[in-house]
Every structure is written in C-alpha cells, then in structure tokens.
Amino acid sequence: MGKQKPTIPKGTRDFGPEQMAKRTYILETIKTVYKKYGFQNLETPTMENLSVLTGKYGDEGDQLLFKIVNSGDYLKKVKAEDLEKGAKIMLPKISEKGLRYDLTVPFARYVVMNHGNLSFPFKRYQVQPVWRADRPQRGRYREFYQCDADVVGTDSLLCEAEILAMMGEALTNLKVTDHTIKLNNRKVLTGIAEAIGENGKESELCVAIDKLDKIGVDKVNQELVEQRGFTEDAVSKLLPIYEMSGFTEERIEKMKTFLASSEIGLKGISELEEVFNFTKVMGVPTEKVEFDVTLARGLSYYTGAIFEVKVNNANMGSISGGGRYDNLTGVFGVEGLSGVGFSFGVDRIYDVLEELDLYPQSAIETTKVMITNFDNAGRDYCLPLLQKLRTAGISAELYPDNAKMKKQMNFANKKGIGFVVLAWEDEMAQGKFSLKNMETGEQQLLTDEQIIEVLK
C-alpha cells in the first residue's frame, strides 16, 4: 500500500528548480513594477469561511469551490435523514471552510475587516495560488497563481492610465514587446445597447460580443436574435461596431457619432478620452494601446474601464485583463468603494516566454561555480575557497563526495552550473586553481582572488 509509487492530485503540479527559477523571474519582474507604482503586498489565508466565498462566483463557481471537511467529529451535526437529502443539503453540515477561489473576494473581505485602519486609496498587489475544482485540461489547472493589483477607494481615472503604464512596463521588462493592450469601457457597451434600441440589454450584448473572436460576426448576430431576443433591426445597426478601425482618436470620433443619442455611452467615451489624455501627459507610451469597442470580457461586474492584453506573435489567449468595478465591498456591507484592477496570467506568460525563447540567462542560472572533489587532500585544499566565494556573494558548491571526474562534470552540466574549479597536485603546488568555463570549455590557472574577480 504505502510502497506503491506516489502520485499528485490531478490538475496540480510540482514546480522543479528550472520551472521555479523561470516562474520567480516572471513574478519578480511583475512585482517590481507593482511596487514602483506604489502598490503594497497583501496575503490572505488559503482557507476562507464558506460564508465569505459562496454566492460570489455564481452557481457554477460555488460548485467549483474546494471545501474542507470540518475538524474533529465532522459528522456531529449530521442526522441520518440528511444523508438521504443528498450531497448539497449535507455539505454545510460537514464543511464550513473552502479554498480561495480568486484573490478579489478575499481582498474585498480584507478591506471590509480592516476598513477603519486602512488609508484610502488603498493600492494592493497580491500574488498567491487559487483553487478551482474544474475539469483539468491543457493549460487549465486546479491550482494556479493569480497576480493581481487593485486600487480601491478612488474613482480617479489616473488609476486606469497607470494600469496601462504598468501593463506595458511589465511586458517590456519581460521582453514581450509585440503585444496589444485593449481598452474599452462598460458604459460604451451600455451606450451601444441604447443606441441600437435595446436599452438595458447590455449584459446579453456583452455575453454575445465576448465571443466575437471565437465564433465571428454572423454567429454573434444569430445568437443575439435567436437566443437573446434582439430585433433584426437592432442587430443590423451593430455593423459600424464590428467594422470599427483606425487609430484611437479616429475610433473615438466614430463612436461619438454612433453614441450621440446615449448619455451614458458618451460618458464612457469621455472617460476613455481622459484616460488616453493622462497617459499622454504622463509620457506613457500608448502605441500598443488600442480602443477596442467590442471588448467585453466575460465578467459582468465591470462598470467602467475594461482591459485585456494579447501577445501578437504567440499562440495564446489573453495574458492579462481587468477593469473598474464600482462596488467591490458592497457584498460585505461596505458601500461606495470604487476599485480598478488587473491581473497577469502567470501560467500563460510562462508558456509565452517558453514559445518565444525570452528567458534571460540570469533567470535560469543556478549555482555559479562548483568545486570538484577527487580526494580528501584536494577537497581540503579547496574548502577555504568555497567559503571565500560565498562571502564574496558568489553562489558556490563543493561536490560533497569523492567521485570520478565524469560524474561530477555531468552533475555540473545537468544543474546548469557555469564554472567548475579543479585542483590537482599541480595546482596545489602553485597555490592556484584551474577554473573551467563550462560553456566554452576554456580553462584558466588562477589564484583564489582572481577566481572571485572573474566570477563577480
């Protein structure tokens, strides 16, 4: 039993040294940008009370929550008849906690619980795993990291401009230069519904338009008419929306005409103009930012700006997204806190950097130098150097056992170690060491101080 080969739960992953080095590179690059823009780190517990989690993600989300069996005698509240009533009725009696499903609800919960002590606007970033009991498939995991930054407690559109800047800067620092940052505004979508005479149906419109990239114009129109009750006339008026082209300024002018009859639509356009204006004054590059009037994203809680980022030269969906929501904490009884935020998809960015071969050498380097160990005399000769290298801040290791040259070289190669130190009688007689560059094969006879100089 205990001796059978162990496994890990489906949809979960181990991250070995190379993956961790690459993931750390991505996360540190992103966190550095977050911090530079004044965001502060928050971590919330893995477990939340189910009273906090349920009802926040829709019925499907509730199903996908991982629930924890109560500690101790978890059956103490269960009666025989509960079993007959089925899993759903019985669940609250055996489980009161669940695993974090996203970072937004715990953030809202934190803000409410610490409302009196926080200074608003509160800028927080949070980089932690979340769990969903989804069917695992390629690129979809049951445990995955989210990487959020949100500002709560202001409706200043400066925040939107800063988010455009942060998205661009993080991706530039990751060398993902060929990307497009799409920007829209929920009010524009509401305005479109009004302008085509389908007032109040922006949600249905959003759900359908959200599929535009996947199923195309005809099927979206068909869905709007057949499943969502739009008139043929209304749908025909959407053509200028589908055919929208040109630079941002041009699109904005076209939309002002299209939305002339919709007050809220024009409000959305004016917000967009202000955001673009802020980026200009700030000196944020905007050539990669595109006003995409059809950008809706699935989630319906956005009330203002909507963001999405795609990589143009990689085979991958959006790698980042976000938006403004007017009532983050209302569900927990604190009204009137507007927030805007976004998130990077770490797993997708990881795959993009793999596909485009964008990891720098420094991201995958492990120990800088390994000292070989052929016999005890050589080992003891090298031990002081080992510690001198570390004192100089150079990562170093000594192969811990006496072993054959080939074995040790293979080890160094496999671990991705850049340099190897060797010392036989010749070197020892001269008080020196041979330093071998594992990439070029070049070998130099050096003193300990020269080695430190070379490796620093």
Residue numbers in the known binding site are 102-104, 132, 146, 150, 297, 301-302
CA gap 210, 225 in Å, rounded: 16
Min CB(190)–a second copy separation in Å? 24
Between 318 and 327, CB nearer to a second copy? 327
CA gap 217, 243 in Å, rounded: 10
Min CB(258)–a second copy separation in Å? 29
Between 277 and 313, CB nearer to a second copy? 277
Coil/strand/helix, residue 163: helix
Query: Beta 339-344 vs 305-311: how paired, if at all?
Result: unpaired
The tally of CA atoms less than 13 A away on the side-chain side of residue 52 is 25
* Alpha-carbon separation of residue 243 from 152, 156, 246, 250, 293 (angstroms): 35, 31, 10, 13, 10
Contact by Cβ (8 Å): 98, 63: no
The residue whose two tokens read 């409302």 is 115
Between 20 and 260, CB nearer to a second copy? 20
Nearest to 432 by CA among 418, 443, 416, 417: 443
Structure tokens at 448: 């300990």
**310: enclosing H helix or E strand:** strand 305-311
Nearest to 91 by CA among 47, 143, 50: 50
Nearest to 154 by CA among 145, 163, 146: 163
Min CB(46)–a second copy separation in Å? 6
Between 53 and 193, CB nearer to a second copy? 53
Min CB(156)–a second copy separation in Å? 4
Between 112 and 454, CB nearer to a second copy? 112
Min CB(171)–a second copy separation in Å? 15
Min CB(205)–a second copy separation in Å? 28
Between 30 and 206, CB nearer to a second copy? 30
CA gap 298, 356 in Å, rounded: 28
Min CB(354)–a second copy separation in Å? 18
If phi > 0 it is left, if psi is from -120 to 50 it is alpha, else beta; for residue 172 that is alpha
Min CB(357)–a second copy separation in Å? 22
At residue 355, φ and ψ (nearest 5 deg) are -60, -40
Between 136 and 317, CB nearer to a second copy? 136
* CB contact set of 250 (below 8 Å; sequence gap of 6+): none
Between 357 and 401, CB nearer to a second copy? 401
Q: Enumerate the known binding-site residues for L-histidine.
A: 102-104, 132, 146, 150, 297, 301-302
Min CB(194)–a second copy separation in Å? 29
* CB contact set of 303 (below 8 Å; sequence gap of 6+): 186, 187, 324, 325, 326, 327
Beta-strand runs (E) in 364-456:
369-371, 396-398, 419-422, 433-437, 443-446
**334: enclosing H helix or E strand:** none
CA gap 145, 103 in Å, rounded: 10
Between 46 and 434, CB nearer to a second copy? 46
Min CB(404)–a second copy separation in Å? 14
Between 121 and 268, CB nearer to a second copy? 121
Structure tokens at 129: 């795993």
Nearest to 266 by CA among 278, 277, 252: 252
